[in-house]
Structure 1
Amino acid sequence: MTNTATNPLLADWTQAFGLPSFNDLKPEHFRPAFDAALERHRAEIATIAADKAAPTFANTIEALEKSGRDLDKVANVFFVKAGADTGDEIEAIERDISPLLARHSSALYLNAQLYARIADLYARRDTLGLNDEQARLLDRTHSRFVRAGGALDKDKQDRLAAINERLASLGTQFGQNVLADEKSWALILEEADLAGLPDFARAAAGAAAADRGHPGKYAITLLRSSCEGFLQFSSRRDLREKVFDAWIRRGENGGATDNRAVIAEMVKLRDERARLLGFASFADYRLEDTMAKTPEAARDLLNNVWGRARARAGRERDALQEMIAAEGGNFKLAPHDWRYYAEKLRKAKYDLDESEIKPYFQLDKMIEAAFETATRLFGVTFKPVTVPLYHPDARAWKVSDAAGKHVGLFIGDYFARPSKHSGAWMTSLRDQQRLTGDTRPVILNVCNFSKPAAGEPALLSFDDARTLFHEFGHGLHGLLSNVTYPTLSGTAVARDFVELPSQLYEHWLEVPAILEKYARHAKTGAPMPKALLDKVLATRTFNQGFATVEYTSCALVDLDIHDKGIADTLDVTQFEKDRLAALQMPAEIVMRHRLPHFGHLFSGDGYAAGYYSYMWSEVLDADAFEAFEETGNAFDAATAKRLHDFIYSAGNLRDPAEAYKAFRGKLPSVDALLKKRGLDEAAA
């Protein structure tokens, strides 16, 4: 299988746009491809480290940037499959390969000869005659090696390597456990059980049941789009409670898929890793290399919002309880009731409900809306192309700039399925760089929208449409990248800066010119009536107390579990309960992601001690959109050019604070965020 003639991952990728031959790719190709790519990368690293010539930027830093290209190719394809179209064979490979990749990474970053060369160059950095991008790359490379343990003694390095390998295995186990719980549970319903569900929700439930082998029935699954729709519309309180309980207990059901012991071990190992590296806690370690710098700074922002959000949520709760009483309900509002009564209150208060607006948010039209926004801001255009991809649901568009030059390939994979992990994300098969030729990116958006019945259009909720714009903002950050070095490309920026391009892009969904053109009725094609559009925009801050509490509680608990003072033996359920009690969490609201299924934190550590970053970036994005509003034009050309040059195309060329100031002229305050969420004093 390692022969390049028989393994499509190791052969030259000659398909259109430099894609691998997905039609020929089989699970058994991955392991030998990984083995061959790892062997080659080890040889490349050994050559760089053992070079007898004195260290130079070219023979050390650039050589390092050029190494591992085969491994990147194989890993990128594999993890696209593992996330978006997995199965028993892929999951088995993932369990094997995750610790192997961690071991390889440790061997790279703990290579004493290699680190000595990098440290030598870093010490002489002001004498090397580097341009700004090269200086930034040297700084980031040195920082990466130091933060990975390159400067530690051998004993500490050995322990660090063992910790990294174990954490990789645990992260894989965590994600696979959550997926197993999601795949194994469904509530199969009859027609009589669908009271309150609008036609589009019934159709989605019917399609889900058919997919699970129950034609003629209806199924509610543990995918967010399925659960939230049912909780929003079903008048069957008993069934809402059953669905909600299953949803919030993913990863906490006992048995082989219970994640609590996994979390306890991961938290302990992360803390040990941070202390080996000289930090007081994992949170201190993680935030040192971000805009926030310290857990205290992140917590200050969250606390600034928390009290206001909790107070507003209390007022929202009281209004919902009054509605229950007015209907003769003799019960106290519970978490499984909130979405149902909030939807009823929205209809009563604004004469608006989700079933009225959802037919105007067709998936295909929202994709077009996201594309046109990019065209009007940045001059890029999108042309659908037919190329072999990893799943029949995925589709592709060729991206070109205003002069017709090829920018990259964009792949959208929008529908939920049992083989796909939950959530929504952006990833890549190839990143932009110019070091080894003009490499054009291949960028993916992966979502989990409900797939419609055959022949029916896919309809999105307003939140779904916002998710689509969010992920496409990430996608543009990758597509528009214009840097030389792979390490600085696209979304490879600080965790609390990376959400700026995505969250900022959400604002354009609500620009009237976009909604007026693309919010079209699925059956009649008629545009959304202006009166309805006005009502949609008028409800932007409706239920924001609930939404902000749901999110902010997660971010605070994340910081707490990764900060100082965690016991060696961690009772995850009790810890979560105690921390929420200390926060005075409203009893009627549950964390958006409870710890046992909080994939952002424990399926790897991408957002561990970093979930606050969505709100940190929201401070930036609210202020950034005000830059457009101040001009009176949401597509102002001069503002869009600064946004392109300093944010979307700039990768990690600058410190994030400097990048933002280059765009905006100043750093933001929290005021724009509070106004956006309706939490400012004027809305109190």
Structure 2
Amino acid sequence: MNNILLQSFNTPENAAPFDKIKQEDFLPAFKELIAVSEKEIDAITENGEEASFENTIEALAYSGEKLEVVSNIFFNLNSAETNDEIQKIAQEVSPLLTEFSSKISQNTKLFERIKKVYGEKEKYNLNEEQQMLLNETYKGFVRSGALLNDEDKKKLEAINRDLSLKSLQFGQHVLAATNAYYKHITARSLLQGIPEPVLQQYAEEARERNLEGYVITLQYPSYIPAITYAENRELRKELVLANGKKSFDDGEFDNQNLIKEIIQLRKQKAQLLGYENFAAYVLEERMAKSPAQVYKFLNELLEKAAPFAQKEIDELKALAKADGIEEMQSWDHAFYAEKLRKQKFDLNDEELKPYFQLEKVEEAVFGLAEKLFGIRFSERNDIPKYHPEVKTYEVVESGKYKALLYTDYHPRKGKRAGAWMTSYKPQYKKGGKDYRPHISIVCNFTKPTAETPSLLTFQEVTTLFHEFGHALHGILADTQYPNLSGTSVKWDFVELPSQFLENYCYEPEFLKTFAKDYRTGEVLPDVKIEKIAQSKSFMEGYQTLRQLGFGLLDMAYHIDPDKVNDVKIFETEETKATHLYPANPETAVSPSFSHIFQGGYSAGYYSYKWAEVLDADAFRYFKEHGIFNPEIAARFKILLSSGGSKDPMELYKDFRGCEPKVESLLKRAFG
């Protein structure tokens, strides 16, 4: 069978051969590569020599290389360029991969060899990264059920298989529900207040659907401007309610039962492995260590932030009252927040957008990476792509090839909402060769039109910097083993690079280098730049409470799932301390909370705020010594390049000289 996925790619930098892959290649490729990987495991377990670090731990770390590459290609396509056929294949492939993973983690002969090496680790004279690999490998097997009896191993395998499928189904429902809704408007008068470039975007969407007038969707570049600028309160209400009803409507895409099934399965898994609940199981492997520590952290921030948040909402309510609105609702928030922002800072997203042409923002973030870390980006046109909108860049350091970077910036029907960084190939070293990573950034920014290039809101500028921070974590990777490389770090450490890089968007001396009107080349006026810097903490109290609400809800689901009889009632009760507007019975966050029910943030959503403490403290260090300080940047580069090869708190202390302080975040947020 002529299956490109089973052959040498023979592409530049051995990049994924997207131009030659057929969808029907995937399933047979997965089956074949799983069999190949199983033989690699057999070679380890059947090795007649005594178990050693090299023939067992290292051999395992390097196994399954081709399977991982194909998995990355497939699941990245399932997120960025999916269709019915790919989703159907995902439903078939996920159980196969889960079963394969379970076979490895429950392989008694393999674990006996690992346990032997682990028990004799003192005799191997391992370096720090090798010790980390050994410890993580042993713990990983124990946490995957290696110490269970045969009956319980089978139970765990079935739970993992069910979880894999249900999480996949959850995400498919959210994507389908997002795509199913659109608001068709023929009367322009209903769109009063919405800026002309956005109206052009809505008209383009209508044309693509062969409709007259305008179409608003729930894709963020369409949805956010509408709820921010539309003077028509009924339109804002309809859109906010539609967004809040995603997968919460008792229809074919409803996720409420899936939520209950997923959290019960996670509870069963945790208790089978000897943990009180799933949160305890997850947090054992995080910087926070325990649910009690997470609650202490979240509640401390809640206590500090709540008065600031209430003060912010009171200001918005005063504006709304002047417009005759006696009781402000959630669909009024973005509209009046934008009004207040303009009043306080004379800033308006649509006025700023001409200064943030996507290509110029990208140039700026590339330039920042060069200034801080000495790497350069140049576009390549010989790398295969999965969609014409994708661009590929070669990353070079000191004249030497460092990585490939794919960028994919605009919404499509087959792309899930949001923004993310991902990897097609990890970095690692083997046989004296340094295998370099292939990294991708995927976003959903407004498409260019016939009249205008892609122009970003300031929030989208920070989003691009955020995802690029993750990308740097992968690009700069310099570790021996693929499973300790790049973003393969403790989950509450992974957001440090991304959130750290966002800080530069608010620095006047940096902003001036790229915030230029695409029509005239005029630099954004100093007064506006200063206002942007001042606006960094605008609505920080509200945003903090919103994030804390998500974190508390996530923890509650994974500490006592038996309390969840009604998803809406449970959600309302667990987040009530963070509510700033009346709860709406028609909407719920949980059924589209993909981070915790599809992504990897279950019992870990708090990590966004945790990482904010790290990033605020790290950037404060730069601010004290110069935001482009080469010596501090060199130390931060070591932190990034080290991946998961060292304990994250030790890495941070090596960089900063001390542990991070919560006060750094509070000072940045509230002065």
Separation of aligned partners in 2, 1:39 and 1:568: 42
Describe how 1:65-144 pairs up with structure 2 within 5 A.
65-144=61-140
Q: Give the match for residue 639 of structure 1.
A: 632
Separation of aligned partners in 2, 1:388 and 1:534: 42
- Write the deviation string for residues 369-405 of structure 1: whole angstroms up to 9, x where unpaired: 111110000000000111220111110111001x211
Describe how 1:167-178 pairs up with structure 2 within 5 A.
167-178=163-174
Q: Give the match for residue 641 of structure 2.
A: 649
Q: Which runs of 5 or more residues in structure 1 are unaligned? A: none
Describe how 1:404-419 pairs up with structure 2 within 5 A.
404-419=399-414
Q: Give the match for residue 291 of structure 1.
A: 287
Q: Give the match for residue 441 of structure 1.
A: 437
Q: Give the match for residue 325 of structure 1.
A: 321
Out of 642, 650, 667, the position equivalent to 2:659 is: 667
Separation of aligned partners in 2, 1:176 and 1:277: 29
Separation of aligned partners in 2, 1:656 and 1:154: 35
Report how far residue 593 of structure 1 moved: 8.4
Out of 23, 29, 35, the position equivalent to 2:25 is: 29
User: Is the 8 Å Cα contact of residues 298 and 616 (structure 1) preserved in structure 2?
Assistant: no
Q: Give the match for residue 196 of structure 1.
A: 193
User: Is the 8 Å Cα contact of residues 414 and 446 (structure 1) preserved in structure 2?
Assistant: yes
Report how far residue 335 of structure 1 moved: 0.1
Out of 624, 627, 634, the position equivalent to 1:630 is: 624
**Cα gap change, 1:521/1:588 in structure 2, threshold over 3 Å: closer, same or farther?**
farther
- Write the deviation string for residues 520-539 of structure 1: whole angstroms up to 9, x where unpaired: 11222211011111111111
Report how far residue 307 of structure 1 moved: 2.5
Q: Give the match for residue 232 of structure 2.
A: 236
User: Is the 8 Å Cα contact of residues 549 and 578 (structure 2) preserved in structure 1?
Assistant: no
Separation of aligned partners in 1, 2:106 and 2:408: 38
Question: SS at the partner of 1:158?
Answer: helix
Separation of aligned partners in 1, 2:533 and 2:104: 51
User: Is the 8 Å Cα contact of residues 399 and 408 (structure 1) preserved in structure 2?
Assistant: yes
Out of 580, 590, 594, the position equivalent to 1:599 is: 594
- Write the deviation string for residues 482-507 of structure 1: whole angstroms up to 9, x where unpaired: 01111111000000001111111111
Q: How many residues align?
A: 667
Report how far residue 455 of structure 1 moved: 5.0
Question: SS at the partner of 2:204?
Answer: helix
Q: Give the match for residue 380 of structure 2.
A: 385
Q: Which stretch has the larger CA shift, 234-243 or 294-303?
A: 294-303
Out of 474, 478, 501, the position equivalent to 1:478 is: 474
User: Is the 8 Å Cα contact of residues 338 and 588 (structure 1) preserved in structure 2?
Assistant: no
- Write the deviation string for residues 572-594 of structure 1: whole angstroms up to 9, x where unpaired: 1221022123x252225899981
Report how far residue 627 of structure 1 moved: 1.2
Q: Give the match for residue 615 of structure 2.
A: 621
Report how far residue 107 of structure 1 moved: 0.6
Q: Give the match for residue 417 of structure 2.
A: 422
User: Is the 8 Å Cα contact of residues 496 and 610 (structure 1) preserved in structure 2?
Assistant: yes
**Cα gap change, 1:202/1:425 in structure 2, threshold over 3 Å: closer, same or farther?**
same
Separation of aligned partners in 2, 1:589 and 1:569: 18
Q: Which stretch has the larger CA shift, 237-246 or 539-548?
A: 539-548
Counterpart of 2:649, as a letter, is A
Separation of aligned partners in 1, 2:451 and 2:20: 30
TM-score, L = length of structure 2: 0.97
Question: SS at the partner of 1:188?
Answer: strand
The answer to whether residue 529 in structure 2 is matched with residue 533 in structure 1 is yes
Report how far residue 156 of structure 1 moved: 1.3
Separation of aligned partners in 1, 2:285 and 2:588: 25
Question: SS at the partner of 2:428?
Answer: coil
Question: SS at the partner of 1:525?
Answer: coil
Out of 244, 248, 254, the position equivalent to 1:252 is: 248
Counterpart of 1:541, as a letter, is S
TM-score, L = length of structure 1: 0.95
Q: Which runs of 5 or more residues in structure 2 are unaligned? A: none
User: Is the 8 Å Cα contact of residues 427 and 486 (structure 2) preserved in structure 1?
Assistant: yes
Q: Which stretch has the larger CA shift, 232-241 or 427-436?
A: 427-436
Q: Give the match for residue 342 of structure 2.
A: 347
Separation of aligned partners in 2, 1:427 and 1:590: 35
Separation of aligned partners in 1, 2:221 and 2:565: 32
Separation of aligned partners in 2, 1:39 and 1:596: 37
Counterpart of 2:621, as a letter, is A
Report how far residue 566 of structure 1 moved: 2.7
Separation of aligned partners in 2, 1:96 and 1:393: 29
Question: SS at the partner of 1:406?
Answer: strand
Question: SS at the partner of 2:146?
Answer: coil
Counterpart of 1:664, as a letter, is R
Separation of aligned partners in 1, 2:308 and 2:354: 30
Q: Which stretch has the larger CA shift, 15-24 or 405-414?
A: 15-24
Q: Give the match for residue 9 of structure 2.
A: 13
- Write the deviation string for residues 289-316 of structure 1: whole angstroms up to 9, x where unpaired: 1100001111111111112322222112
Separation of aligned partners in 2, 1:507 and 1:666: 21
Question: SS at the partner of 2:434?
Answer: coil
Over aligned residues, Cα RMSD in angstroms?
1.6
Out of 561, 568, 571, the position equivalent to 1:573 is: 568
- Write the deviation string for residues 236-294 of structure 1: whole angstroms up to 9, x where unpaired: 10000000001111111112210010010000010110011111110000000110000
- Write the deviation string for residues 3-42 of structure 1: whole angstroms up to 9, x where unpaired: 3xx2111110111121132112121111111111111011
User: Is the 8 Å Cα contact of residues 302 and 552 (structure 1) preserved in structure 2?
Assistant: yes
Q: Give the match for residue 212 of structure 1.
A: 209
Separation of aligned partners in 1, 2:210 and 2:391: 26
Report how far residue 225 of structure 1 moved: 2.6
Question: SS at the partner of 1:152?
Answer: coil
Separation of aligned partners in 2, 1:613 and 1:445: 21
Q: Which stretch has the larger CA shift, 236-245 or 92-101?
A: 92-101
The answer to whether residue 494 in structure 2 is matched with residue 498 in structure 1 is yes
User: Is the 8 Å Cα contact of residues 506 and 532 (structure 2) preserved in structure 1?
Assistant: no
**Cα gap change, 1:584/1:470 in structure 2, threshold over 3 Å: closer, same or farther?**
closer
Counterpart of 1:344, as a letter, is K
Report how far residue 417 of structure 1 moved: 1.0
Counterpart of 2:521, as a letter, is G
Question: SS at the partner of 2:372?
Answer: helix
Q: Give the match for residue 453 of structure 1.
A: 449
Separation of aligned partners in 2, 1:468 and 1:569: 37
Out of 603, 619, 632, the position equivalent to 1:609 is: 603
User: Is the 8 Å Cα contact of residues 568 and 588 (structure 2) preserved in structure 1?
Assistant: no
Report how far residue 99 of structure 1 moved: 1.4
- Write the deviation string for residues 320-343 of structure 1: whole angstroms up to 9, x where unpaired: 12112223x143110000110111
Question: SS at the partner of 1:434?
Answer: strand
User: Is the 8 Å Cα contact of residues 508 and 530 (structure 2) preserved in structure 1?
Assistant: no
Question: SS at the partner of 1:254?
Answer: coil
**Cα gap change, 1:588/1:407 in structure 2, threshold over 3 Å: closer, same or farther?**
farther
